[in-house]
Amino acid sequence: MPRLRPPFIDRLFARRSRLPRPTPWEKEEVRIPLRDGVHLAADLYTPTVPSKGVVLVRTPYGRGMAMGMGFARVWAGQGYTVVYVASRGTNGSSGTFDPMRTETADGHDVVAWLREQSWYPGTFATFGHSYLGYTQWSILADPPEDLVASVVMEGPHDFSRHAWGTGSFHYDIFGWSQQVRLLHNRRPGDLLAALRDRSARKAAVSAVPVLPAATAAFDASAPWLRERLEHPDLDDPFVAPMQHADALKASTVPTLIIAGWQDIFLVQSMEQYRTLRDRGVTVRLVSGAWGHLDMDSAVIRPAVLNWLDAHLAGVARAYEGVDVEFTPAGEWRHLDQWPPAGAGELVLHPATGGVLADEAPDAATASFLFDPADPTPSSGGNEMSGGGYREDSYLVERPDVLTFDTAVLDRDVTLAGAPRLTLRHTAELPDVDLFVRVSDVDGKGRSTNVTETFRRVVGEHDSVELDLLDTAHVFTAGHRIRLSVAGGWFPFYSRNPGNGENPLTADVLHPNRHTVTFGEGTALTLPTVD
């Protein structure tokens, strides 16, 4: 018997997401055949009112209520037919889960199946967050002609770059592997297993070498992880199926990009927006003061509904331009583009005594020793676990970190865009890591992270240029701007062995002394607006 009204939880979810009152829907499980004989499990959500269009969502994270609510039921309640598909090898789908490497062919096969259904109206949209955003990019290098809208929320187009793109290995892949295991293999004892996994993960990243400990910890629960650890070269054919930068050059599909200033995929979200914008593709950007798992649904979901209603259903006028949230006050600004047109620059110069000066100082040097046996501890920033806005005053006390502060500001300084640090830098060993962060220091001396970057520099060098992540932040009068420079960021990133080896297979880790030269050639440039 058809529902007369949607469940209470759906109505509550819609209200908290600032969406219209939902309408009833029905759900049935379907099987989708692929070209290689695999069958994907999917839930078909059909509204009991006339459908406004079809939304395709592909996920490895499960089809239960917790995931289904935010990715499928919510849009069924807004009048859309939603096809919610489990990736191969997960949640009732046959085949073997080989994350990130099979989504292109599988996605096009799902689209072919859609076209054969009697209820298919001839066009569809895609939607999803994180990996669910990645599944969209996986088919956009050869975009289906009937795909008329995409909504990508904090979704990468290149997972190989996320893992190895800095030159170091991003250890959040370990945590993600554990998350996937729990989401599609729920059974008694999982909580205890998760605690064991967390302990094993901590032991693995601290081991020397890392690879044997990591494979011993994860081979049973995530057998595919070993191959990701063994292929650090971004030109390796093994990782090619994870790379979809061509989608940014090929797609003409109207795309809504939702990013977060503290999200792990921020750099790729901004690349997606800029590339599509510069090509003249219809694209909209929304970026707020959140990380990967704490987006503000009251901001995001109305924007998503507008995009679907405008570009799929044709029943609304699409919002245009860019909406960004300026921290720390939470002020939203609507802009024509990002970064804003007509931005100015504030150039600051690190100097002796931990000063961040308005003018370049006389030449001088400062040094620090990075010791992989006692690496600079990571906290806050663009990470899935342990990230976000955090007090980072502890960095001043670390002997392996150089920090530089401006004088107390006599006026507000509004940062809008990606800062750049040019650094005259050398090291005793040629292969180094550099972590750079800009923080906001309040009147009581409490420092909070704003933006950052991490890079492995390989080979002899005497200077580096580092682009920090985009952000929108107001340093208020009475505060200071702080720059921190370190030689590592652990356990978010693997420790640098100092000799150019794969950091996961190196069996010896060497301390390394860094030297920064002040004066001409060393400067922090902040893009600013009024």
| Residues counted in the chain | 530
Place 185 in a pLDDT band, splitting at 50, 70 and 90: low
Round to whole Å and give the CA distance between 488 and 481: 21
On whether both 354 and 328 belong to a single domain, the answer is no
Contacting residues for 417 by C-beta, under 8 A, at least 6 apart: 338, 339, 340, 343, 470, 471, 527
Contacting residues for 165 by C-beta, under 8 A, at least 6 apart: 158, 234
On whether both 407 and 474 belong to a single domain, the answer is yes
Question: Is the residue at 3 inside a domain?
Answer: no
On whether both 217 and 325 belong to a single domain, the answer is no
Instruction: Among 236, 253, 288, identify where a domain stops.
Output: 236
- pLDDT, mean of residues 275-294: 98
Residue-wise pLDDT for 206-265, tens only, equals: 999 999 999 888 887 788 899 999 999 999 999 999 999 999 999 999 999 999 999 999
Domain limits at 223? 166-236
CATH at 117: 3.40.50.1820
On whether both 473 and 364 belong to a single domain, the answer is yes
Alpha-carbon distance values, 167 to 164, 234, 253, 272, 275 (Å): 5, 10, 32, 21, 23
- pLDDT, mean of residues 201-208: 89
Domain count, the chain: 3
Place 196 in a pLDDT band, splitting at 50, 70 and 90: low
Alpha-carbon distance values, 332 to 66, 120, 232, 239, 328 (Å): 29, 38, 39, 38, 11
On whether both 370 and 506 belong to a single domain, the answer is yes
Instruction: Provide the CB-side half-sphere exposure for 26 (13 A, CA).
Output: 10
Question: Is the residue at 94 inside a domain?
Answer: yes
- pLDDT, mean of residues 355-379: 97
Residue-wise pLDDT for 29-80, tens only, equals: 999 999 999 999 999 999 999 999 999 999 999 998 888 999 999 999 999 9
On whether both 142 and 206 belong to a single domain, the answer is no
On whether both 489 and 381 belong to a single domain, the answer is yes
Contacting residues for 324 by C-beta, under 8 A, at least 6 apart: 285, 286, 287, 288, 332, 333, 335, 338, 416, 472
**Residue 17 reports pLDDT greater than 70:** yes
Instruction: Among 207, 236, 265, identify where a domain stops.
Output: 236
Among 253-257, 389-393, 496-500, which is the least confidently predicted range? 496-500
Among 92-101, 219-228, 352-361, which is the least confidently predicted range? 219-228
Question: Is the residue at 84 inside a domain?
Answer: yes
Instruction: Among 206, 236, 266, identify where a domain stops.
Output: 236
What per-residue confidence (pLDDT) applies to 525?
A: 99
On whether both 397 and 435 belong to a single domain, the answer is yes
On whether both 15 and 56 belong to a single domain, the answer is yes
Handedness of CA 482, 483, 485, 488 (dihedral sign): positive
Residue-wise pLDDT for 152-175, tens only, equals: 999 999 999 999 999 999 999 988
- pLDDT, mean of residues 415-425: 98
Instruction: Please give the mean pLDDT across all residues of the chain.
Output: 95
Residue-wise pLDDT for 99-127, tens only, equals: 999 999 999 999 999 999 999 999 999 99
The percentage of the chain sitting over the pLDDT mark of 70, rounded to a whole number, equals 97
CATH at 390: 2.60.120.260
Q: What is the DSSP letter of 311?
A: I
Residue-wise pLDDT for 217-230, tens only, equals: 888 778 889 999 99
Question: Is the residue at 260 inside a domain?
Answer: yes
What per-residue confidence (pLDDT) applies to 520?
A: 95
- pLDDT, mean of residues 327-333: 98
